[in-house]
Structure formats: C-alpha cells, structure tokens
Amino acid sequence: LPEPTSELSSREVEHVARLARLGITPDEVLKYRDQLRNILHHIEALNRADTSKVPATAHPLEERNVMREDRREPCLPADAALRNAPSREDSYFKVKAIQE
C-alpha cells in the first residue's frame, strides 16, 4: 500500500479540483491545501485499526440485487423533466460545445 501522506501539495489540490470539475482560485488552492492537510492528518488514525483480516463493507444491507418485472411503468413526461433546465431546445438539454 502506498503510505498516505499528509503533505498534500498545491499541485495535487489543483489536480483534484480539476478531476471534480471545480473551479478554484490560487488563494483557495493554498487555503484548501492547508485545511485538507489538517483533515488528512486526523484521518490517518485509520491506520491504527488492524484490518489485515477484515473484509470491506461496501453497503450496509443484506438485501442484494433487487429486481422488478421488466414492464413499462409510468415515468416523468419530457416536459416536466426539462422544466428546470437553464437552457433547452425542443425536448433536449442544450449545452455548449465541448471544445471551442
């Protein structure tokens, strides 16, 4: 396992913000870097627990693979689904070009 490091770098903060599609100013990079370092420092306490023989819990429920009949059911009309869209054309969401 890679050792988690509490010395998160500014570059990593920028990378993570980019992955999360989150615009961030240079001042915020420094602020979040310091705050996240501090949080990660506390989170490292996780390593105090011996989990070498412990399975991971991905979900708390016993029920698995809930199925329903493959039958058409009423669903939201397109107009209702589109009503909150900032920008639309006919029955489509309208977006900007992915590249300029």
Partner 1 sequence: MKLFHRTIRDLHQMLRDREISSVELTQSVLDQIQAVGDRTKAYLLVTKELALRQAHAADERLRSKRDVRPMTGIPIALKDVLCVKEVASTAGSKILKGFTPPYSATVVERLEAEGAVFLGKTNCDEFAMGSSNENSGYWPVHNPWGLDRVPGGSSGGSAAAVASGEAIAALGSDTGGSIRQPAALTGIVGLKPTYGRVSRYGLIAFASSLDQIGPMTRDVVDSALLLQAIAGHDPRDSTSSPKPVPDYLATLGDGVKGMRLGVPEEYFVAGMEPAVEQSIRDAIRLLEQQGASIEEVSLPHSDVALPAYYIIAPAEASSNLARYDGVRYGYQAEGARNLIEEYMLTRQQGFGAEVKRRIMLGTYALSSGYYDAYYLQAQKVRTLIIDDFKRAFTKVDALLGATSPTVAFPLGAKTQDPVAMYLNDIITIPANLGNVCAISVPCGLADGLPVGLQVIAPGFREDLALRIAFAFEAATEFHKAQSPLMGAAA
Which residues on adjacent β-strands are paired with residue 88?
Answer: 93
Which of 9, 56, 55, 14 has the alpha carbon at shortest distance from 34? 9
Under rule CB under 8 A, residue 21 binds partner 1: yes
Chain residues 57-76 in contact with partner 1, contact rule CB under 8 A:
57-61, 63, 66, 68, 76
CB neighbour burial string for 60-75, b if at least 16 within 10 angstroms, e if fewer: eeeeeeeeeeeeeeee
# binding residues, partner 1 (CB under 8 A) = 57
Residues of this chain that bind partner 1 (CB under 8 A): 1-4, 8, 12-13, 16-17, 19-24, 28, 32, 35-36, 38-40, 42-49, 51, 54-61, 63, 66, 68, 76, 80-81, 83-87, 93, 95-100
